[in-house]
């Protein structure tokens, strides 16, 4: 039971125009509706209205987490750097970690995520198989020194994340914990009216098994997603696999060096020799943790740097610059894995299966015909390191993959034992043997989810809040407040609303009707009630739904009933 909030006293300023810095619809709405104010790049103040919205989102997520059996707790954001050294992530997170020093010169980090802290807690508390399985979660501010914060609440330097961690006896019971969380996420995005789809995701260098992201497909997203229109295959481009065109069939032939003047690219080469790009092999050079690496891949494909990074367990990986290419003695434009010495060679599986490929001769202006893996050259590792692209064949069916952009709203991930090992989360099983807990982690960015909700729920006039998330349930527009009949009707309405759980925002400002209606549309509460002499003369007050824009006159004594009808 809450007293209605009067707008004349509410700390809120709406903007007629969006500030120039905002490009995305969600960013513009956040600023125009006065939900947030930027403090610095990637840092926002939430106003009372914005904070109400955040809390509604948080409450929805909390409800589903609790329903799944997870238990809420709270971990510190400020953590000793030693914890991060134990997990190895002091190095792997690198410059993304915000670092601070206390008065005694001890080093701390502002946590970007909480696997370390939760593992430390679990380590101290978990002793027996009877303690497991369990899933713990929190809402907590995360800090990441992002290279480029962007898009309002899309990518922040400080943000609120719901992060959950499961601890299991083994991989089998982890499957149950994971499934429960997956279902909770499905319900959350459903109820939040954001069409998020699960896609296969990269699990990074940590190892671990299944990893799925919940992606809201949206042209303003920053992740690239490959989707199969014919089946349900969907994967982040970092992870996506595909079936490459089969190699051209032929019998292995003798290697032969040919003159290829001015030919420096695969496109040139295939035109010059009149062959398909898939009949060539190309070399791509990388600098991996300060070591040169030669990547051999079929000419029609490109290297997926995430796959390569994971394969080599690399921290730093970047294309080699020209100076390093010279220093290493590689011949850009005619590079070949054949006869290379003093450099690690990594090959994509596409070149292992192919027969009689054309590759460089490691001499300018020359190439070699009929290269065959195993006979003429080998690599230290052969793996799938190819980048899936639109038009490639789906790994599961005959469909052609399509590419879309999307926003990562949530991530569920079977972590495995790496953190539990590093931080000693162990227990005794029934047989009295010491075992390491098997972990999962599950995150949802709350601020980003709020942004996605706005992206998915607005029209040209403003926000259209889903009922469960609206900062207020009802927006009351008062016209002609000096009229005694209006004042009396308003008093009665407010009293009745006060008897319910409904939260109301009452626009009692001394404004003309225009701005009041415009603001009501902009702020987007699900139901607008207009108390005015005109409506009263028609027998009640005007009831209007933001989503349908349909309105009707409802007698005062029926209003509460009318509002509650259709509450989801």
Partner RNA sequence: CGGGGUGUAGCUCAGCCAGGUAGAGUGCUUCGUUUGGGACGAAGAGGUCCCCGGUUCGAAUCCGGGCACCCCGACCA
With respect to RNA, which residue has the nearer C-beta, 433 or 510?
Answer: 510
Min dist CB 529 to RNA, Å, is 10
Cβ distance to RNA smaller for residue 67 or 313 = 313
Minimal distance, residue 86 CB to RNA, in Å: 15
| Nearest residue (CB) to RNA, 26 versus 334 | 26
Q: How far apart are alpha carbons 405 and 18 in whole angstroms? A: 25
Token couple for 229? 């229109």
Q: How far is the CB of 12 from RNA (least distance, A)?
A: 11
How many Cβ atoms from other residues are within 10 Å of residue 71's Cβ? 12
Q: Do the beta carbons of residue 339 and residue 360 sit within 8 Å?
A: no
Nearer CB in complex with RNA: 88/364: 88
CB contact at 8 A, 221 and 410: no
- Within 10 A of 31 (CB to CB), how many other CB atoms are there? 21
Q: Exposure string (b/e) for 404-419, b if CB count within 10 Å is 16 or more? A: bebbbbbbbbbbbbbb
Name the minimum Å distance from CB 355 to RNA: 32
Closest to RNA by CB, 18 or 332 = 18
| Cα–Cα distance, 377 to 399 (Å, whole number) | 34
Taking the complex as a whole, the smallest distance from the CB of residue 536 to RNA amounts, in Å, to 8
Least distance to RNA from the beta carbon of 347, Å? 20
Residues in contact with RNA by the rule CB under 7 A: 14-21, 23-24, 27, 38, 40-42, 89, 92-93, 96, 112-113, 144, 146-151, 155, 163, 204-206, 222, 305, 317-318, 411, 413, 443, 461, 479-480, 482, 510, 512-515, 517-522, 530, 532, 534-535, 542, 544, 551
Assign 468 to helix, strand or coil. coil
Report, in Å, the least distance between residue 116 CB and RNA.
10
Distance CA 439, CA 123 (A): 12
Strand spans (E) along 277-393: 281-288, 291-298, 317-319, 344-348, 357-360, 366-371, 381-383
4 versus 112: smaller Cβ distance to RNA: 112
174 and 208 in contact (C-beta within 8 Å)? no
Report the residue number, 417 or 532, with the smaller CB distance to RNA.
Answer: 532
Residue owning tokens 């921290």: 315
Of 535 and 563, nearer to RNA (C-beta) is 535
Helix (H, G, I), strand (E, B) or coil at 420: helix
CA proximity to 263, closest of 351, 376, 373, 363: 363
């Amino acid at each position: 039971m809450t007293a209605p909030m009067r707008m004349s006293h509410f700390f809120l300023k709406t903007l007629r125009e969006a500030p120039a810095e905002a490009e995305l619809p969600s960013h513009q709405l956040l600023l125009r509706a006065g939900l947030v104010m930027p403090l610095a790049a990637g840092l926002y103040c939430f106003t009372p209205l914005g904070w109400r919205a955040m809390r509604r989102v948080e409450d929805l997520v909390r409800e589903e987490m609790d329903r799944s059996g997870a238990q809420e707790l709270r971990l510190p954001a400020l953590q000793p750097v030693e914890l991060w050294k134990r997990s190895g992530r002091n190095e792997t997170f690198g410059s993304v970690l915000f670092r601070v020093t206390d008065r005694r010169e001890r080093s701390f980090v502002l946590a970007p995520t909480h696997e370390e802290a939760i593992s430390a807690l679990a380590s101290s508390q978990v002793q027996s198989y009877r303690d497991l399985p369990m899933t713990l979660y929190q809402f907590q501010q995360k800090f990441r020194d992002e290279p480029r914060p962007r898009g309002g609440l899309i990518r922040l330097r400080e943000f609120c994340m719901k992060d959950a961690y499961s601890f299991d006896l083994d991989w089998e019971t982890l499957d149950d914990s994971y499934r429960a969380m997956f279902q909770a996420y499905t319900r959350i995005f459903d109820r939040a009216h954001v069409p998020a789809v699960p896609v296969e995701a990269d699990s990074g260098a940590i190892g671990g098994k299944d990893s799925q992201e919940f992606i809201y497909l949206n042209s303003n997203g920053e992740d690239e997603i490959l989707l199969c229109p014919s089946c349900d295959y969907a994967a982040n481009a970092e992870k996506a696999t595909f079936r490459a065109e089969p190699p051209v069939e032929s019998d292995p032939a003798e290697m032969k060096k040919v003159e290829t003047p001015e030919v420096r690219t695969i496109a040139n080469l295939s035109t010059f020799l009149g062959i398909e790009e898939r009949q060539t092999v190309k070399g791509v050079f990388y600098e991996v943790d300060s070591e040169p690496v030669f990547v051999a891949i079929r000419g029609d494909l490109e290297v997926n740097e995430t796959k390569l990074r994971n394969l080599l367990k690399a921290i730093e990986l970047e294309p080699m610059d020209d100076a390093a290419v010279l220093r290493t003695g590689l011949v850009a434009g005619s590079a070949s894995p054949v006869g290379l010495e003093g450099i690690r060679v990594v090959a994509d599986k596409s070149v292992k299966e192919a027969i009689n490929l054309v590759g460089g001769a490691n001499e300018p202006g020359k190439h070699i015909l009929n290269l065959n893996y195993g006979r003429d050259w080998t690599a230290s590792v052969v793996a799938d390191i190819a980048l899936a692209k639109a038009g490639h064949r789906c790994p599961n069916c005959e469909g052609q993959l399509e590419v879309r952009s999307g926003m990562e709203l949530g991530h569920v991930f079977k972590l495995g034992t790496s953190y539990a090992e590093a931080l000693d989360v162990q227990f005794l099983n029934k047989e009295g043997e010491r075992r390491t807990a098997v972990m999962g982690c599950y995150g949802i960015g709350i601020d980003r989810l709020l942004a996605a909700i706005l992206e998915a729920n607005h029209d040209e006039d403003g926000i259209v809040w889903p009922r469960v998330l609206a900062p207020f349930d009802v927006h009351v527009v008062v016209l002609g407040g000096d009229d005694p009949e209006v004042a009396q009707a308003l008093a009665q309405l407010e009293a009745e609303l006060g008897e319910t759980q409904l939260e109301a925002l009452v626009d009692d400002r001394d404004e003309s009707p225009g701005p009041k209606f415009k603001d009501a549309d902009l702020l987007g509460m699900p139901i607008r009630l207009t108390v005015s002499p005109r409506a009263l003369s028609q027998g009640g007050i005007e009831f209007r739904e933001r989503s349908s824009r349909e309105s009707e006159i409802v007698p005062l004594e029926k209003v509460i009933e009318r509002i509650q009808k259709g509450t989801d």
